[in-house]
Amino acid sequence: MFEAINSIIWSLQSVAFAEPKTDTGLETIKSIIWLIPTLPLAAAFLNGFIALTFLRSKPKSELTATQRGLRYLTSTIGILAIAAALLVSLIVLFFLIGQDKEHKLIQVENIYTWIPSGDFNIKVGFNVDPLTSMMTVVVTTISLLVHIFSTGYMREESGYHRFYTYLPFFTFSMLGLILVNNFLLLYVFWEAVGLSSYLLIGYWFSKKYDWGRLLPSDASKKAFIVNRVGDFGFGLGIMWIFVVMLNHAEGAAKGFDRLNYQNVFQVFEEGSKTGAIDHNTITIIAILLFMGAMGKSAQMPLQVWLPDAMAGPTPVSALIHAATMVTAGVYMVGRVNPIFSLSPEAMTFVAVIGILTAFFGSTVGTTQKDIKAVMAYSTVSQLGYMFFALGVLGWVAAFFHLMTHAFFKGLLFLGCGSIIHSNEETIHEALHKMHLVVKDHNLAEEIEHAIHHDVDPQDMDNMGQLIKKMPLTGWSMVVGAAALAGVPFTAGFWSKDEILGQAFAHGQYPIYIVGLFAALLTAFYSFRMIFSVFFSGDYRLPKAMNRAVARAGGVNAVEFVAQGRKTKPNQVEVIAKESTKNMTFPLVFLGFMSIAAGYVGLPRSIFGGLSVFDSFLEATFEPAFAQVAPKETSAWLTVILLILSGAIALTGVAIAYYMYHQNRDVAPYRARRIAGPLYTISKNKWYFDEAYDLLLVKSGLLFERSLWLFDRYVIDGAVNGTGWVTRQSANYLRKVQTGFVGNYALYITIGLVGVIGLFYLINGI
Amino acid sequence: MIPVSWYLIFSAVLFAIGLTGVLTRRNVLIIFMCVELMMNAVNLTLVAFARSFGTVHFAGDAFVIFVVTVAAAEAAVGLAIIVSLARQQESIDADQIDLLKE
Amino acid sequence: MFLLSTMTYLPLLGALLIMLLPKKSDNLIRWVALLTTLVVFGLSIYTILGFNQDSKGYQYEEYYKDWIPSIGSGYHMGVDGVSVLMVLLNGFLFVLAIIASWKPIQTRVREYYVSMLLLYVGLMGVFCALDFFLFYIFWELVLIPMALLIGIWGGPRRVYAAVKFFLYTLVGSLLMLLAIIALYFQYYDLTKTNTLDIPTITKIAPQFSETFQFWAFLAFALAFAIKVPLWPFHTWLPDAHTEAPTAGSVILAGNMLKMGCYGFIRFNLPLFPDASKTLAPLMIGLAVIAIIYGALVAIVQPDMKRLVAYTSVSHMGFVILGLFSFAYGLRGKASGQTTDVLLRDNSAAFDGAVFTMFSHGLLTGGLFLCVGVIYDRLHTRDIKTIQDTTRVANRMPAYAAIYMLYTMGSLGLPMISGFVGEFLAMQGAFRVNGWIAFGTSFAIILAAIYMLWLYQRVIWGKPADYELATGHDDHGHGHGHATPAAQVTPAPTQASSKKADLKWLYQSIVLEPEDNDSSAAASHGTPAESHTDSHDNDHGHGHGGDKDLKENGAKFPDLNLGEWLTLYPMGIAAVVLGVFPGLVLNFLHKPAEQITAIFVNHADLAATLLQQVGK
């Protein structure tokens, strides 16, 4: 199989580039790289223009035929632009694959000077190496699939065009983040993805009720602000780098870009070798930079925003909050590996944060009922995996997992979207029928209201047996979950095992064990989701709806039953349907990738040169490997580890099977009772939100309010007090002004006598 | 020749009389006349000084002419004010007039 | 040749013309004002295009030496890289301000535009004048029309605000006047000649004694710190902004605050190099406090304009931070003498400061215009009231979009102009001391909090239906569409305290219909109708089909032409500057070099003196 893939890759490359190493090829590549981010940007501008000029925020039903056409035009523009960007990225990727190890770096420098200011010069340019190239392909692929998926998912939205303005804009920002060659520009796009994430989480800003979850308008704000906490450190880190560069790149020519990656890496490497740059400085800079990664990639203790970010539309969760944007932190650490690798302390810090987060995410994921929350915590946990992989110096392993994770988590989220969409459509149609059955208009309204309020289309308790109704979604999600769980021979199996293997190879046994435990939990919760949603027992949605009916007091008026069970006239069938093709196609494609993507990075100690991923990415991590040479477990140990982690995964699946397939009505509750407080802590996400609310939000507001009081009464009080004193003293003094001319004359005389007296007093008589 | 100090003493007495009048009298008209008296006392000083020191420039004499002119103008304006006051307030008692205070 | 004078006095001509126009010709008056500002704007563009970025010193100079010979004052105008930018900003913002007052100002139109144009004269003059006497005239000239603008066309507490603004700034300028006179005599003592010419005095500035520098610096600094405003002299600003009419706020934030910063650049740094260095830590400290303090207090403001005013305090802190980080870097620096490599050329901090001045004019000006847009429709700026009245984003998407741009710009999102200046200033401060940058960096978190919270409440509305607010108007009554905006939104004449606003809201929304019974019935019927509405229209995932959109939209029209013409050009300008900051930064190289040269000369002088003493 891998041989086949390998040969396909090689042949593709030889087709695309007959002479890969000629300069003209390089020049051509250099001249097309700018297209990768610019095409989505152009699409975003175009769509934004169409949206603001022609469509506004009118609902779909109010649009004219032309406007509807324009509405679909926006999605078409988006899809075409991303597809073109994907094409260019692929060309660049294959070009790079064909290059020697020494030539795997394309630099497009000095497109223009962004900030020309004294010794602070920032020049815009691109820096394309294997890591970059791999990331652009992953991002554009997932983005394209999400664009396609959303044409179905967002079909009925009145803000369809708005969505297709934000989505290409995000893609632009993400691609910019990956491609730029400069720390400050990295920061720029870092913030730009933050903005698009903010806009997309807040897409449904007018939502008033979300079944107890944080509302989009709050969640988006939270995401941005928590990210800013990370950026606080990131920005300081960049400034510090600049200062170090000033100290150590003195004789540089005018216009020298002191934040350019290559310049910085060179100075840091030399400075650290000669000892000119203090080791602690490097450590602190690395940790400051990592703060940014902690924010963006939702690492503890800044992970709180990501689960709430699920308030955005589900395709957005798939693209931004699972597959691409949240991996920006991982990308950044990988990109800055020449600095990070200089400081073992910083790497340990990264590893500890990573493993903590991985553990945290997997524990919380096991108890969530909301299908998207499970996936969100799973993402947190998997990002933790990537970070501890980086921390234990498994550079390539981290990015291998990043890639496979992008595919299978993108798949799982899009699958969730498909399920939620289907559930919503199902409820919508059932309610439509209900209105025909229930004659009493007010009662029907009550029932509809109750169902809208009670029946959460994302709650796994309301699902079951969906595999029969939605086979394509179901089976592709099973593949995705298997990959997430690390079931043998899926992509996730290979990548997760490589991470654990790296932890083992570098002798980080505690991390290895915690990682293994987290893997067990991961397997458990992913299949918990699969079994509760797609298999186990019966279809639960009608039951949940009936409960809501009972609450609304309409028990006899209507009853919801599953498909094909209708016997009485007051019964309404609840018919779940598979999603449309534009939604299932991305799922199936990603399902394929969730298996296939694993075979580019097979363990090298067993399969040797077949591991093209390793050899491709090695060029990027050359500086890191120069510090600590890559380690690998020997072949037989690798096999043992593979078997061990496969067994762990299967154990997790088996537990899930027992609890959620065989005994879904009993086992979970029994387990909950046994776990006791552990369950409560996990269910409440370790009480992070509550703690922050108390420590930062509430007390912060208190502090700010008292500061305002201080402003009004002390500072402004002093100002107004001056005025008051002036007025009061004037009030007293004005009594001298009697208005009688005689008095004034007297004052004049007294004054005159006084002056003359003083004159003589001083000068003598 | 009469020494200049005699003139000065005389004008000082004149000035003091005027001042006392301004300060003590209530009738605005009398106050006004006392002011004129004070002014004339000053004029006298000026002329005396001019006579004893300033033979060349006639500065003192010129100044006296100035003061007299101003005094005439002032008298015109002042009397006008007094007349209008008398019409409006029906009194020319300085203690009754405190319009400045308002 | 007389470009600067033309630009300065053309508005005066416009004002005279307006005074001569017949009384009832409001529109004609507006057009005259607009044309005047447009011509001046055109001239300012011409000026900046013809400006040579690579030459030192002043350009477009006009110098009539014997203007008032008895005090040595000449008529001297001229611009350098900093002031030419400010002139352009003046030109741009005044055009927008005139357009922005087109509809909102309906009373005493003639007087309003005369005041505006007089203000224009003052502001242009301040940035062009190169003679202390002339400068001081313009400086004070600015005060009067602005106080009138606030005091006549302002909000409920306008008189209080106007008087406070006037007196507070006057106190500062008096001290400055004192310092100018002291400078005049110092110059006389040193050279036995009289002059008030700024460049001439600047030339011998290094010879001033340190004590004199110290006190004169403080006197100047107080005047400018009040104008900037720097903590703790900032309290006039929220009041003035809150009460001023929209265009007044734009000019106040956009141009008048820059007068203070400009003063620091033109006078404090070059005239008192010693004192600048000695007192730099103090100024940096105050700036850091201003940045954090302004941001913290902004978070809890209930009034939109007051909030934006406090953000101004925070942003202007960055200007002072940049300027004095730059000055600090020039500490003990003589030519050929090596100093700390970090501070050898900290002109980036200077660039950051001036860039922040420029971009703050655009972004905060834009934010005030945005507040004005809401205010014109709702007649309130109370955030809670707006939130409870309507979901602006649904009704006014074009407005929501541009507001987002200003929000992001103001919280320092890169690629919008705000970021560049702030980052440059912060890295300049980092070179002085890392902890300063650490302290100010909190502002980037706080900025996100106050701006996003504001945006959420004002634009995205509250997380609940607006049934009550709009339901009764249309359902069953059928007069909803005909209801003019004025009826629904009478201006609250009381102080904009929350209570009064809520009362007004209650009256306008709940008590307005004739019969309470039918309104109750209607609101009962609302869910039924609207629910089916939201079903047919928008049964997507958002459940966001807002009921009030269709029915009440007419009362909240999206941006009109005037608002488009003001908000969008300004936003585009901010983005262009964010992407190509070089457009502005390139003007600043020479001014920074010149100030550096003064400091270096001064240090050289000190070094030679030291040598002589040694011998």
Q: Is C21 exposed, middle or buried (0-12, 13-18, 19+ CB in 10 A)?
A: middle
Residue-level pLDDT at A234: 94
**C243 CB-side CA count, 13 A:** 25
**Which residue bears the tokens 């202007």?**
C316
Classify residue C146: in a domain, yes or no: yes
**Euclidean distance between the first and the last CA atom of chain A, given in angstroms as a whole number:** 124
Examine the domain organization and report whether C252 and C298 are in the same domain: no
Residues C261 and C337 grouped into a single domain: no
Q: What is the mean pLDDT of residues A213-219?
A: 88
- Are residues C247 and C314 located together in one domain of the fold? no
Mean pLDDT along residues C108-115: 91
Arithmetic mean of pLDDT, A735-754:
83
What residue spans of C300-346 are helical by DSSP H?
304-329
Which H/E stretch holds residue A437?
Answer: helix A395-437
Please name which of C376, C367, C346, C381 lies closest in space to residue C557, comparing C-alpha atoms.
Answer: C376
Residue A23 has a pLDDT of 66
A3 band by pLDDT with thresholds 50, 70 and 90: low
Average pLDDT (B71-75) is 90
As a whole-number percent, the residues of chain C with pLDDT over 90 amount to: 47
In contact, C53 and C589? CB cutoff 8 Å: yes
DSSP string, C189-256: HHHS----BHHHHHHHGGGS-HHHHHHHHHHHHHHHHHHTTPTTS-THHHHHHHHS-HHHHHHIIIII
Tens-place pLDDT, residues A397-432: 899 999 999 999 999 999 999 999 888 888 888 888
Q: Which residue has the higher pLDDT, A101 or A549?
A: A549
Per CB-CB distance under 8 Å, the chain B contacts of A746 are: 23
* B82 shares contact with chain A (CB less than 8 Å): no
What is the complex's ipTM, to 2 decimals? 0.89
| Residues in CB range of A394: below 8 A, 6 or more apart | A498, A499, A501, A502, A503, A505, A506
User: In which band, very low, low, confident or very high, does the pLDDT at A550 lie, cut at 50, 70 and 90?
Assistant: confident
C491 against A727, higher pLDDT: A727
Same domain for C74 and C112: yes
Least Cα separation, residue A677 to chain C (angstroms): 33
With 60 as the cut, is the pLDDT of residue C486 above it? no
Cβ-nearest to C531 among A117, A199, A445? A445
Task: Please indicate, yes or no, whether residues C247 and C372 belong to a single structural domain of this protein.
Answer: no
Both C9 and C134 in one domain: the answer is yes
Q: Is residue C485 predicted with pLDDT exceeding 80?
A: no
Q: φ, ψ for residue A572 (rounded to 5)?
A: -125, 130
Q: Name all chains with 3 or more CB-CB pairs below 8 Å to chain C.
A: A
Q: What's residue C609's pLDDT?
A: 66
| Contact call for A448 and C531, based on CB within 8 A | yes
What's the pLDDT band for C118 if we cut at 50, 70, 90? very high
Window 45-74 of B, Cβ < 8 Å to A? none
Q: Indicate the average pLDDT of chain A.
A: 86
Average of pLDDT values for C342-365?
Answer: 87
What 3-state class would DSSP assign to A207? coil
Residues C314, C255 contacting (CB under 8 angstroms): no
Mean pLDDT value across residues C458-469: 73
Burial B72-102 (b: 16+ CB within 10 A, else e): eeeeeebeeebeebeeeeeebebeebeeeee
What's the pLDDT score for residue C78?
Answer: 92
User: Does residue C423 have a pLDDT over 80?
Assistant: yes
Instruction: Count how many pairs of residues, chain A against chain C, have C-beta atoms within 8 Å.
Output: 222
pLDDT given at position A138: 93
Residue in A closest to C399 by C-alpha = A52
Q: Is the pLDDT of residue A68 over 50?
A: yes
Let me know whether C302 and C447 are in one domain: yes
Cβ of A117 and C585 within 8 Å?
Answer: yes
**pLDDT above 90 (res B56):** no
- Domains of chain C: total: 2
Q: Which residues pair with A124 in a beta bridge?
A: A112
Q: Nearest by CB to A749, from B23, B26, B31: name it.
A: B23
B98 closest CB neighbour out of A738, A745, A749:
A738
Residue C396 lies in a domain: yes
- Give the nearest chain C residue to A188 (CA atoms): C414
Residue C500 has pLDDT above 60, yes or no: no
Q: Does residue C308 sit in the same domain as residue C399?
A: yes
Q: B24 Cβ partners below 8 Å, 6+ apart?
A: none
Contact between A334 and A131 (Cβ < 8 Å):
yes
Mean local confidence (pLDDT), C464-483: 43
Q: Are C317 and C290 in contact, with CB atoms under 8 Å apart?
A: yes
- Mean pLDDT for A277-289 is 91
Spacing of C-alpha A404 from chain mean position = 16
Strands A559-562 and C73-79: unpaired
Q: Taking CB atoms and an 8 Å limit, are C582 and A449 in contact across chains?
A: no
Query: Interior CA angle at C503 toward C501 and C509, to 5°?
Result: 100
Q: Closest to B23 (Cβ–Cβ): which among A737, A739, A742?
A: A742
With 60 as the cut, is the pLDDT of residue C417 above it?
yes
Look up the CATH number of the domain holding residue B84. 1.10.287.3510
Closest CB to B94: pick one of A737, A740, A749: A740
Query: Greater confidence, A586 or C1?
Result: A586
For residues C302 and C218, membership in a common domain is answered with no
Residue C580 has pLDDT above 80, yes or no: yes
Nearest Cα residue in chain B from A742: B23
pLDDT-wise least confident of B25-34, C422-431, C576-585: B25-34
**Comparing A172-186, A664-678, B65-79, C140-154, which segment has the lowest mean pLDDT?**
A664-678
pLDDT confidence of C394, banded at 50, 70, 90? Answer: confident
Select the more confidently predicted residue: C536 or A640: A640
Q: Which of residues 689-748 of A touch B (CB under 8 A)?
A: 737-742, 745-746
- Choose among C376, C369, C354, C441: nearest CA to C406: C369
Q: Quick check: C510 pLDDT over 50? A: no
pLDDT of residue C39: 95
Q: Within this chain, do residues C232 and C338 fall inside the same structural domain, yes or no? A: no
Q: What ranges make up the beta strands (E) of C348-395?
A: none
What percentage of chain A exceeds 90 in pLDDT? 34
**Per-residue model confidence (pLDDT) at position A293:** 92
Domain that holds residue B39: 4-101
Express each pLDDT in C226-277 by its tens digit: 998 898 899 999 999 999 999 999 999 999 999 999 999 999 988 888 888 8
What is the structure's pLDDT at B92?
77
**Across the interface, do A739 and B99 touch by the CB < 8 Å criterion?**
yes
Compare C152 and A16 and report the one with higher pLDDT: C152
Q: Chains near A, with 3+ CB pairs < 8 A? A: B, C
- Using the Cβ of C426 and the Cβ atoms of chain A, whether some distance falls under 8 Å is answered with yes
pLDDT: is B71 or B51 the higher one?
Answer: B71
- A abuts B (3+ Cβ pairs < 8 Å): yes
Q: Quick one: average pLDDT of A599-603?
A: 84
Q: To the nearest whole number, what is the mean pLDDT of chain C? A: 82
For residue C68, what is the enclosing H or E element?
strand C59-68
Q: Which of the residues A731, A741, A748, A752 would you substitute to probe the B interface, choosing the one with the greatest number of B C-beta atoms within 10 Å?
A: A741
Helix then strand then coil, % of chain B, to nearest 5: 80, 0, 15
Give residue C547's pLDDT: 53
pLDDT digits (tens, 9 = 90+) for C511-542: 333 333 333 333 333 333 333 333 334 445 55
How many residues appear in chain C? 615
Work out the average pLDDT over A464-478. 87
pLDDT of C342 reads 66
Give the domain extent around C199: 1-271
The total of structural domains in chain B comes to 1
Distances A660 to A31, A535, A672 between C-alpha atoms, Å = 55, 9, 13
Instruction: Give tens-digit pLDDT for B21-53.
Output: 888 888 888 888 898 999 999 999 988 888 887
**DSSP assignment letter at C546:** -
Residues C176 and C83 placed together within one structural domain of the fold: yes
Predicted confidence (pLDDT) at residue C341 exceeds the cutoff of 70: no
List, for residues A494-535, the tens digit of each pLDDT value. Answer: 998 888 888 888 888 888 999 999 999 999 999 999 988 888
* CB C48 within 8 Å of CB C87: yes
Spatial contact of A383 and A290, defined as CB atoms under 8 Å apart: no
Tell me how far CA of residue A608 lies from CA of A2, A347, A502, in angstroms: 12, 28, 16
A194 touches A227 (CB < 8 A): yes
